[in-house]
Chains A and B, each alone.
Chain A
Amino acid sequence: MPGDTLKQDLAEVLDEALKLIQGISNLSDLEKARIHFLGKKSMLIGLMRSLSDLNGEEKASAGKNLNSVKQQINQLLSEKKISLSKSSLNPKDAFDLSMPGKASSIGSIHPITKTMNNAIEIFESLKFECVEGPEIEDEFHNFTALNIPESHPARAMHDTFYLENNFLLRTHTSSVQVRAMSEQNPPIRIIAPGKVYRKDSDITHTPMFHQIEGLYVDKNVSFSNLKSVINIFLKNFFEEDDLRIRFRPSYFPFTEPSAEVDIEYLDSKGNKNWLEILGCGMVHPNVLEMANIDSKIYSGYAFGLGVERLAMLKLGITDLRLFYENDLRFLKQFQRI
């Protein structure tokens, strides 16, 4: 094969490659072009194979030309590949920092649960131990043992749901007090969180709600200690050291002296108001005696917190019923750990 013919052929191949590769718009066509120009059956490779027929000098010169063309085509192919790749990238490789991620794996924990856990944590740090009691109670534990005899007008204060066979849905977690005192000897230092039920349903009442009962029975427990525990709890719960708290006399059959505790808050107009937040008092001696605890030796305090009310205040929820609608637009507002 004369060198000139080869040169001419190579120039034609290169020219063809230039034109063809330029017009290619996708990677698969580019691959076809690669096979056409540089594949096993391509003219260029055929020519390379036939080099062995040539003598030394011719062989060297032709080889040089062939290699140069091959390199140029390779160059064209890889340049085209890069330019094509840029336009057909996997979208995930074209990373956009501002894009939304994939489906979130964060759910939500009910605000009642969060509030309850928050309160429990504070009381546990104050060395109260958690206990639980049954939601279906008898009259003895819910009323009688708490110094609320059948004829007592205070029974009317608790609108009770009754079940068959004289059972009832507990109207307060105070019933757990009674159980704890009959099972443990003083010192007793417990909290009892849980669901309670009252026959009441309007904007400010739901027939089921949550309470946390606290009880401390020991020697020399004073009202002044009760004030201290409640102060510590409320300031920690609301994360406000300057929170203003007041105790005012009230009446519960199972405590004496009894108190209601108010906290000061700013209403939507910026006015200072007192808001009732919990009830408490010194355990009534009749309650201690009924639990076989000598009220001459031991005294104690008890308190009951409404979890919904705490949650509403802390989270700025204005309608109690939202807690039990379980609307995702409500639940998903409380995603923080």
Chain B
Amino acid sequence: MKVTRSWLENYIEITNTTDELCHDLTMAGLEVDDFSKIEDDYLIDIDLTPNRSDCLSAIGISRELNSINSQYKYKSTIESNKHNPTCENTDLKFNIVENKVCPRYGYMYLENVPSSCNTPEYINKRLRDIGITLIHPVVDILNYIMIDIGQPMHAYDADKINGEITVRQAKDKEIMSALDGNTYKLNSENIVVSDSTQIMSLAGIIGAEEISVSKNTKNILVESAFFTPNAMANKARILKLQTESSHRFERGVDYNLPQEALIKLSQIIGENKICKFSNINFIDHENFLPNSKEVKIDHDNIRKSIGIDISDNEITDILLSAGCKFDKKSNTVKNPSYRYDLSIHSDYVEEVARLYGYDNIPVTAEKINIEPSKKYIPFEVVNKIRQYFYNNSYSECINYSFVNNDVLEDLDWKNEEFKNHNKITNYMSLEQNKIRSNLVSSLIKNIEYNNNMNSENSYRFFEISTVFSNKDEQVLSCVVNGDKHEEQWSSKSPKFDKYDMTTIVEDISKLFGLNKSDLTYVIKDVKSNGKKYIYMTLSVSDLIRKITENLQEQYVNYSKLPYIRRDLSFIIDESIEYKNILKIIEETNVHSLKKTLLFDLYIGKNIPDKKKSLGIGFIFQDEEKTLTHEEADNFIEKILSHLKNHFKIELRQ
């Protein structure tokens, strides 16, 4: 809402600077976006909240300033001369079918509008100052009245009206070419003003092009109606339209304004001798006009919920200053017809707090129990994982949850094909048309982006986020590319391989007292745009479930006696997974076997095709006695024979 200081000064006395005036407005909830000097005046731009339709006019803002601070005194209004109608009213017939939507329909007839007439200069200037384009003297005056007192009106070329004027639902697929140059296809959701042959306007929103006022218009029908806010809500938005008029009607215009507006119109027309004008006519359905609501005021509740010490009388004074009616006997308050936002008790609590001044409300600390704060385990877990990655030179990324149609997006977090994405029906661009089902593709894009921008030899990224496939799952993904370490002088860095990801999984399981086998994860590599990426994805949701089942750490006794190590190197089928070998070793049930460690894996020269060579070290130790070499030899023999029973293995020397 734009208004000039001088326009407000038409109604109230302003003695302070514009800066102070704007501060007062802002602190009362009428946030001033900006103000600027124009000639000897100031243009003030107020960002109004949707509940304050009463301030969508110069009068409304002046009224508000007066309730904020009575120093903004009302000026005594100069009684305008009464102007008597100078022509007969139109003999048009009206039929308000949608009387709940339009319980008040007022009109006035303007006759013989000369094509040479001009917009009165003061109106011209005020409209120009707030950036409203001049269109036609009568339309300009209607716009002026709308900004001045808040009532939107509409002017029709009266000579183009055929037959009875109806306010009705639009017919399905009815078409209207509007003043904004667009054609709208309507349905029964839309309310229109029409005559017997054409739609004259979308009620309270926009007029039809065909019947609009132009330079050559001779006679004009001015509509000044009240449209019910609830019925108007959404009406313009479903057509992706918003006009000054719809903006006001859907938020609520005072139902007393149509009359005031037409009176004002007759005064301006009369004073400036623009044309002949008729008397004012109304078609009212009073039952459907809004009622003021009586609300019982609970003074204690007001004091308690705001937290201020204020007397009953002070509360009453504040409500009266806001234009409410207060009945002392019944302790009830009634809202003024322009305040649609005052209807239940908490609305009045807010009104008191607002006019009391938020800045004047004291700061009262709450009483808090002295108990340790409760930590939220899922965040603790995720933060520990972040810390781990941080300590291992990984950088955390955060990416949008939206993705495009790349092939890499067609995988769920488990790396299985997934095409049933949640699609955004009203996406902004195809680049962001669905919700991602994995984090890996985003991280690969991060590396690609950085590779274009920076000169790194090693990329290590991770992200923790919810992904959406068949169900929501919080996952952790890390993606690496290139060397394991940043380039440096000491030694040449090895390249990343998948076992680096294995280490991460093992480390994370240790962080939470779990085993690798407790976690749900995948480790893969992928080529994208000629570069190889290695990645790991782990289900954090699943990890959190496992942790909550997990008990505290417990000490386990260990031997203080010497250990003996024996190594085995053997050739085995490449296809046999290490975990199966470990399982067989465990099954041997050698109690003194304290640790099994894989110290060598070799595939290649001197090893037959589809075979691998493993080197495993065995650490034996007993809690009770010092082991002899014979005992160790027996153990290793036992293990070896057990392995031979299960696998075809060939010992290496």
Q: Which residues does chain A contribute within 8 Å of B31, judged by CB atoms?
A: 248, 250, 260
* A332 in contact with B358 given A151-B230, A224-B306, A224-B363 (CB within 8 Å): no
Closest residue of chain A to B426 (Cβ to Cβ) is A162
Task: Give CA–CA (A107, B391) in the complex, Å.
Answer: 6
Binary interface encoding of chain B residues 428-468 relative to chain A, with 1 for a CB under 8 A from any of its CBs, else 0: 10001001000000000010011001101000110001101
- Of the listed residues B306, B350, B362, B397, the one surrounded by the most CB atoms of chain A closer than 10 A to its CB is B350
Q: Is B175 an interface residue when CB atoms closer than 8 A count as contact?
A: no
Is B397 a contact partner of A110 (Cβ separation < 8 A)?
yes
Contact check: which of A92, A107, A134, A222 meets B390 at CB < 8 Å?
A: A107
Q: Which residues does chain A contribute within 8 Å of B345, judged by CB atoms?
A: 285
Is B307 a contact partner of A223 (Cβ separation < 8 A)?
yes
Q: Which residues does chain A contribute within 8 Å of B52, judged by CB atoms?
A: 251
Q: Is B49 an interface residue when CB atoms closer than 8 A count as contact?
A: yes
Q: Is A324 an interface residue when CB atoms closer than 8 A count as contact?
A: yes
Q: Is B543 an interface residue when CB atoms closer than 8 A count as contact?
A: no
A184-226 residues with Cβ-Cβ distance < 8 A to B are: 195, 197, 199, 201, 206-208, 216, 220-225
Contact check: which of B250, B395, B425, B472 meets A153 at CB < 8 Å?
A: B250
Is A107 a contact partner of B29 (Cβ separation < 8 A)?
no
Contact check: which of B305, B396, B401 meets A299 at CB < 8 Å?
A: B305
Contact check: which of A124, A247, A251 meets B375 at CB < 8 Å?
A: A124
A291-337 residues with Cβ-Cβ distance < 8 A to B are: 299, 323-329, 331-332, 337
Give A151 Cβ to nearest chain B Cβ, in Å.
4
Task: Give CA–CA (A240, B289) in the complex, Å.
Answer: 53
Is A258 a contact partner of B26 (Cβ separation < 8 A)?
no
Contact check: which of B364, B425, B427, B486 meets A225 at CB < 8 Å?
A: B364
Q: Which residues does chain B contribute within 8 Å of A100, judged by CB atoms?
A: 488-489
Q: Is B293 an interface residue when CB atoms closer than 8 A count as contact?
A: no
Give B29 Cβ to nearest chain A Cβ, in Å.
3
Binary interface encoding of chain B residues 293-311 relative to chain A, with 1 for a CB under 8 A from any of its CBs, else 0: 0000000000011111000
Binary interface encoding of chain B residues 370-388 relative to chain A, with 1 for a CB under 8 A from any of its CBs, else 0: 0101111011000100100
Is B390 a contact partner of A208 (Cβ separation < 8 A)?
no
* A250 in contact with B29 given A164-B423, A227-B363 (CB within 8 Å): yes
Is A228 a contact partner of B363 (Cβ separation < 8 A)?
yes
Q: Is B570 an interface residue when CB atoms closer than 8 A count as contact?
A: no
Is B251 a contact partner of A153 (Cβ separation < 8 A)?
yes
Q: Is B112 an interface residue when CB atoms closer than 8 A count as contact?
A: no
Task: Give CA–CA (A162, B425) in the complex, Å.
Answer: 6
Is A326 a contact partner of B461 (Cβ separation < 8 A)?
yes
* A331 in contact with B397 given A124-B375, A130-B379 (CB within 8 Å): yes
Binary interface encoding of chain A residues 243-262 relative to chain B, with 1 for a CB under 8 A from any of its CBs, else 0: 00011111100001111100
Is B402 a contact partner of A207 (Cβ separation < 8 A)?
yes
Is B386 a contact partner of A113 (Cβ separation < 8 A)?
yes
Q: Is A104 an interface residue when CB atoms closer than 8 A count as contact?
A: yes
- Of the listed residues B396, B466, B468, the one surrounded by the most CB atoms of chain A closer than 10 A to its CB is B396
Q: Is B50 an interface residue when CB atoms closer than 8 A count as contact?
A: yes
Please count the residue pairs between chain A and chain B whose beta carbons lie under 8 angstroms apart in the complex. Answer: 232
Q: Which residues does chain B contribute within 8 Å of A131, judged by CB atoms?
A: 376
Q: Is B399 an interface residue when CB atoms closer than 8 A count as contact?
A: yes
A54-108 residues with Cβ-Cβ distance < 8 A to B are: 92, 99-108
Is A285 a contact partner of B346 (Cβ separation < 8 A)?
yes
Closest residue of chain B to A130 (Cβ to Cβ) is B376
* A223 in contact with B398 given A207-B432, A249-B358 (CB within 8 Å): no
Task: Give CA–CA (A222, B303) in the complex, Å.
Answer: 9
Q: Is B629 an interface residue when CB atoms closer than 8 A count as contact?
A: no
* A328 in contact with B425 given A259-B358, A284-B346 (CB within 8 Å): no
B32-70 residues with Cβ-Cβ distance < 8 A to A are: 49-52
Closest residue of chain A to B401 (Cβ to Cβ) is A208
Task: Give CA–CA (A275, B375) in the complex, Å.
Answer: 32
Give A44 Cβ to nearest chain B Cβ, in Å.
43
* A167 in contact with B422 given A108-B396, A201-B428 (CB within 8 Å): yes
Q: Which residues does chain A contribute within 8 Å of B401, judged by CB atoms?
A: 135, 169, 195, 197, 208
Task: Give CA–CA (A333, B273) in the complex, Å.
Answer: 71
Q: Is A125 an interface residue when CB atoms closer than 8 A count as contact?
A: yes
Closest residue of chain A to B359 (Cβ to Cβ) is A246
Give A325 Cβ to nearest chain B Cβ, in Å.
7
Q: Is A127 an interface residue when CB atoms closer than 8 A count as contact?
A: yes
Task: Give CA–CA (A243, B547) in the complex, Å.
Answer: 41
Q: Is A120 an interface residue when CB atoms closer than 8 A count as contact?
A: yes
Contact check: which of A152, A257, A327 meets B306 at CB < 8 Å?
A: A257
Binary interface encoding of chain B residues 340-373 relative to chain A, with 1 for a CB under 8 A from any of its CBs, else 0: 0000111101100110001101111110110101
Give B553 Cβ to nearest chain A Cβ, in Å.
24
Is B233 a contact partner of A152 (Cβ separation < 8 A)?
yes
Is A222 a contact partner of B305 (Cβ separation < 8 A)?
yes
Is B424 a contact partner of A103 (Cβ separation < 8 A)?
no
- Of the listed residues A101, A131, A207, A216, the one surrounded by the most CB atoms of chain B closer than 10 A to its CB is A207
Task: Give CA–CA (A299, B303) in the complex, Å.
Answer: 13
Is B344 a contact partner of A249 (Cβ separation < 8 A)?
no
Binary interface encoding of chain B residues 22-34 relative to chain A, with 1 for a CB under 8 A from any of its CBs, else 0: 0000111101000
Q: Which residues does chain B contribute within 8 Å of A169, judged by CB atoms?
A: 401, 424, 435
* A106 in contact with B393 given A153-B250, A153-B251, A258-B350 (CB within 8 Å): yes
Q: Is B606 an interface residue when CB atoms closer than 8 A count as contact?
A: no
Task: Give CA–CA (A76, B395) in the complex, Å.
Answer: 57
Is B400 a contact partner of A207 (Cβ separation < 8 A)?
yes
Q: Which residues does chain B contribute within 8 Å of A323, judged by CB atoms?
A: 398
Q: A153-B251, A328-B454 are in contact. List 13 more A-B contacts (CB 8 A).
A: A103-B393, A109-B396, A110-B397, A126-B368, A136-B472, A156-B237, A161-B424, A164-B423, A195-B465, A223-B307, A246-B358, A259-B358, A324-B398
A-B contact pairs, 5 of them (CB 8 A): A102-B491, A105-B391, A161-B427, A248-B26, A250-B49
Report the 8 A-B pairs with minimum CB-CB distance, sorted nearest first: A224-B307, A249-B29, A130-B376, A251-B49, A222-B307, A103-B485, A151-B233, A257-B350
